[in-house]
Each structure stands twice: as C-alpha cells, then as structure tokens.
Chains A and B, each alone.
Chain A
Amino acid sequence: MIKSRYHISENVLIAPKTYQLVLAGEADVEGEFVDIALPGFYLRRPLSVCDREDGKLTVVYRVVGEGTKALSEMTEGTELEVLTGLGNGFDPEACREEALLVGGGLGVPPLYLLAKELKARGKKVTAVLGFNKAEEIILADAFKAVCDEVLISTVDGSVGVKGFVTDAIAAAHPAFDYFYTCGPMIMMKVVCAALEGPGEASLEERMGCGAGFCYGCSIQTKNGPRRVCKDGPVFKKEELLW
C-alpha cells in the first residue's frame, strides 16, 4: 500500500452519470483498486482500476452520492491523495487457453485491464458485456480493440442480445475454460450458477479502511470470514456463499 498524490488529467462524462477519470502520478503501482481521498468527505472512495499505463491510472465511476458528485465536478489538474496497491485482483494465470469475461454495467471497466493482461499471455478472450440500454454502454470499442470477440446484451434490446449477459452467453455458447465476472451481485451470482467450470468474481462491499485492518467489509465464505478489500475483491467461484 502506497499513499501518494495524483493529479487529474482527464475526468469526462462517457455515459449518463458515468465518468472516466484518468489520474497521473506514480507509474508502476499494483493493486485491483485505488482509494481516493475527497476533500470534505470523511472516508475514501474505493474505485477499481480500469487501465494502467505510462504513469496513468484510469478508473470509471458513476455518480451515486455526494462524494462521487463532488469528484465529477473536479477539473483537470486537481490534486488528489490516493492509496494504491490495494486488493487482490483477477488471476490471468488461472485461464489455460480461452477466457470468458462477463461484465455488467459499472462492472465492465475492471475487466478491461484483465482483458489486456490475458491477451498479453496469448489467451483467446471473449467478453460479454451487459447494460440496461444503448446509452449506458461503455468501453465497447476498447474491448473490441483488445478481445477476440465481444458480445453485448441490453435489457431493453436496443443493442445486441435483448436480456441479460446470461442470455447472450446462452445464444452464442462461447468456448472457455475459465471465466471472470464483475457486476451487480445478483448478476455475478446468476453467472456463477449458470456457467459450468471454474471462474472468479469481483465483489463489492461498503469499505472502511480499504486495506484489511478494520474488518468493515468482511463476508462469510466457504473458507470462513474474508475481507473484500484485502482477501478480495476477487474471489474464486467455489469459495463464495452468496
């Protein structure tokens, strides 16, 4: 865990209430998520890393409350204090040859960095990205540029398969030996139940410290209590009780 200062190099609206934030600063940081201090707010905001290169970190967030609203109003050049090196991310080594990435809504961005890591290891990558409607679609072109195949589902049927990610998977039957999912808890639960074979899911929980010492985000698993921030946020499918 490292505490350092970043400055905003980009903070743009990419979908309704949804922003892409690019932070410039410390280059070679690891970790699944960053924890951003916002002036005037007591706790930090944990946000998953979507991309990381050339000393820049990209995160995508939705305005859901006062904190993210304040973040959305910050302009280029604003300095932010950020904790990095947090969380255990997806394991690209778990996939033998063919990976299936299943993302829903704001769960799509963290899978982008994983897609790049899988491609760098020579894996075949299929991404299934689910959204409510056309205007909420994010990062589709970025995924298409990286993945072998990208399937889109929308609940209202405005783009791609009408329905949920599971409908798109049922229609296309993509081959895979390992899956990775990130999205609403109910979506990940259904995905883990529907997909045979091994995989992992990135959970979300309200956090305190973000670094594993306050035990504010503990969940019960088949292996006992686990901290989402430190032991996760990514857990193996077979470990989760839902």
Chain B
Amino acid sequence: MVKDLSVGLCGLTLKNPVIPASGTFGFGLELAKDMDLNVLGGISLKGTTREARYGNPTPRIAECPGGMINSVGLQNPGINVLVNEKVPALRKVYDGCIIANISGFSLDEYRECCAKADVCEGIDIIEVNISCPNVHNGGMAFGTSAESAAEVTRTVRAVCRKPVFIKLSPNVTDIVSIARACEDAGADGVTLVNTFLGMRIDIHRRQPVIANKMGGFSGQAIFPIALRMVYQVAHACRIPVMGCGGVASAADVIEMMMAGATAVQVGAENLRNPFACPEIAAALPDLMEELNINTLQEIIGTV
C-alpha cells in the first residue's frame, strides 16, 4: 500500500516531516549539487541576524561521545542577503517548505528581521531562535524566561502574517512554561530543542577545546531528553511542535512524532552524514509498513 508521508503544519502541507535543522544544512544551496533537495519536507535555513556576522573564533567544533559541541556563533551574511539572494536562489531548485531562522540581540533586531522575512516571497515559515547558546547578550538570553520569550513572540507576531515558530532552549528549568508563554503570546508553533550548553577541555593543553570555551552540545546523546521535552510541550500546548534533538534515523522520526511532533528536524546527524535527511526520508515508507502505519499524520501525539 502506498504510504502517505505528508503532514499538515499551520495550513501548509509538507511532503514529509523530515527537515534539516537550522545551522546544519547551510542555506540548502550548499548541498543542492549533491542531492535532490526536493525529497525533503522542509529546510530550516542557517540562523540569520540583521547584520552580517563572522561568528566565533575557531576551533568551533568539539567531538564528544554520541555527539558534538559547536560554537559557530551565528555566522551569516545578514537578513538582506538572505531575503534578496539565498531564498530566491533556493526557491528556484526547491519546492518544499522553506523556513527562515531569525536570531537577534534586541527586540528591534528580531522585529526588523522577521518583518523582512515575512515579505520575502519564498519563505513559508519564520522560525525565531531565542535559544542560541553561542552568542553573548542575545540568543539564549531571550529564551530562558517565560516573560522575555513572550515579549519576543509578541514583537515578531505583530509584524508577521506568516506562521511563526519559536525555537526553544533546553537550558531551562521548565520548558513547558516557556512554550505556553509563547503560545499565549501568539506563536503558531514551537521548535524544540536547540543545543545543550556544554564544554570540553583538552587535558594536554589544559585549555577548552572550543575557542569560545563553551558551545552547544547536540547529537544522538540528547535524543531522550529532547524527546521528553517534545512530549511534555506537545501535551501541554495546542500549537504544533517541530521536534528536534539527536534525531538520526527514520525510527527516531516516528518516535518524535508519537511523542507529539508534527514535523521533525534533523541536526547534528547531517554533519556526520550529509545525506542523512534524504536517507531518513527514503527509509520512512518501509518502517511505516513494518509498524502498520498508512499515514504519518495519524501517529502524531499518539503516546
């Protein structure tokens, strides 16, 4: 029997729930020659700020058992290049859901960038990153209290007609209260989770491995924690959840969806296997057959 992999997300239909997560797939264009991007349900683009940023000094990457730490620090060409060059170029080769990921250091910056993303024709969803652990006085600072998360949400909601997802940090005491605050402030959905603040030390040099000392830990090791948070938030909120964190296989996608995710983002796995997302999407029908699932939509939040 033909399997239906499509999922509905805020009025959009994704051909499947598999989405490379922001920061782990560039602007999509970097991989356009290496694979057929159109097998992906969506693409979440690299986090973008108002001005171009070089980001943090290198080393930016530290390997860990079951995962890795990154501290790229939001390297990006700025919102104008995103909406004028990157998105139009991607739209020419990709017909799926394009998700702009917006970061900021002030409410003004979030407002200005989201307003520009909202009027950019190729962008379908605006994902607001209030959870980047790699920049100071910004990013995650907005995502660690319900009040500031709600304030960012209200600010961008006021300038966006497109669906707005808030990307949440797991580095909080109670992620459910923050997700609810975003929902109450008008978010159309939430993406969770971003990376866990982590650190490694080179014991020979007696120095942190990462130049910026700390960074965001992600990879298969965080999957159970991310899944738990997706489960808690999905059952406490009415808005859809994009599940993210340690997803590495079609089975992980199904598990995230059973926990309550409508779509599933694949992050660090792309860095160890650039073909992870197309491989996962291709593996879903056989796994659905094995699990007696005909339409993926029907399993969302069934646990």
Contact = CB atoms under 8 A, between A and B. Distances in A.
A230 B31 CA distance: 12
Interface string B44-64: 001000000011001111111
Nearest to A2: B34
Given A214-B72, A215-B26, A43 B61 contact: yes
Interface residues of B, number: 32
Nearest to A43: B63
Interface string B272-285: 11110000000000
A41 B25 CA distance: 21
Given A83-B274, A208-B61, A213-B24, A218 B70 contact: no
Interface in A31-71: 37, 41-44, 67
A206 to B, nearest CB: 4
A205 B31 contact: no
A174 interface: no
B83 to A, nearest CB: 19
Q: Which of B23, B59, B72, B274 has the most CB of A within 10 A?
A: B274
A37 B272 contact: yes
A213 B25 contact: yes
Contact of B26 (A37, A44, A206, A213): A213
B271 interface: yes
Interface string B11-41: 0000000000001111000110010000000
A118 interface: no
Contact of B270 (A67, A209, A212, A215): A209
B274 A42 contact: no
B272 A206 contact: no
Contacts of B239: none
A71 to B, nearest CB: 14
A12 to B, nearest CB: 26
B289 to A, nearest CB: 26
Contact of A42 (B58, B59, B272): B272
B68 A42 contact: yes
Contacts of A165: none
Nearest to A44: B272
Nearest to B220: A42
Contacts of A169: none
B212 to A, nearest CB: 12
B64 A42 contact: yes
Contacts of B65: 42
A214 B70 contact: yes
Nearest to A45: B63
A154 to B, nearest CB: 25
Contacts of B219: 42
Nearest to B26: A213
Dominant secondary structure of chain B at its interface with chain A: loop
A213 B67 contact: no
B75 interface: yes
Contact of B275 (A3, A67, A220): A3
Contacts of B8: none
Nearest to A83: B274
Contact of A218 (B64, B68, B75, B270): B75
Interface string B165-198: 0000000000000000000000000000000000
Interface in A193-230: 205-209, 211-220, 225, 230
B30 A218 contact: no
Contact of A211 (B23, B62, B268, B274): B274
Nearest to B72: A215
Contacts of B61: 43, 206-208, 214, 216-217
B271 A208 contact: yes
A223 to B, nearest CB: 13
B274 A3 contact: yes
Contacts of A145: none
B224 interface: no
Interface string A142-166: 0000000000000000000000000
A44 B61 CA distance: 12
Nearest to B56: A218
A213 B31 contact: yes
B148 to A, nearest CB: 27
B59 A220 contact: no
Given A205-B59, A214-B23, A216-B61, 15 more contacts: A3-B273, A37-B272, A41-B63, A42-B268, A42-B272, A67-B63, A206-B60, A208-B70, A209-B24, A212-B30, A214-B24, A214-B70, A217-B61, A218-B58, A218-B72
20 contacts: A37-B272, A42-B219, A43-B61, A43-B63, A44-B272, A67-B63, A206-B61, A206-B62, A208-B271, A209-B270, A209-B274, A213-B26, A214-B61, A216-B271, A217-B61, A218-B55, A218-B60, A218-B72, A218-B75, A219-B58
Interface of B: 23-26, 30-31, 34, 46, 54-55, 58-68, 70, 72, 75, 219, 268, 270-275
Q: Give the 6 A-B residue pairs with the shortest CB-CB distance, closest first.
A: A213-B26, A213-B30, A206-B59, A216-B61, A209-B271, A208-B61
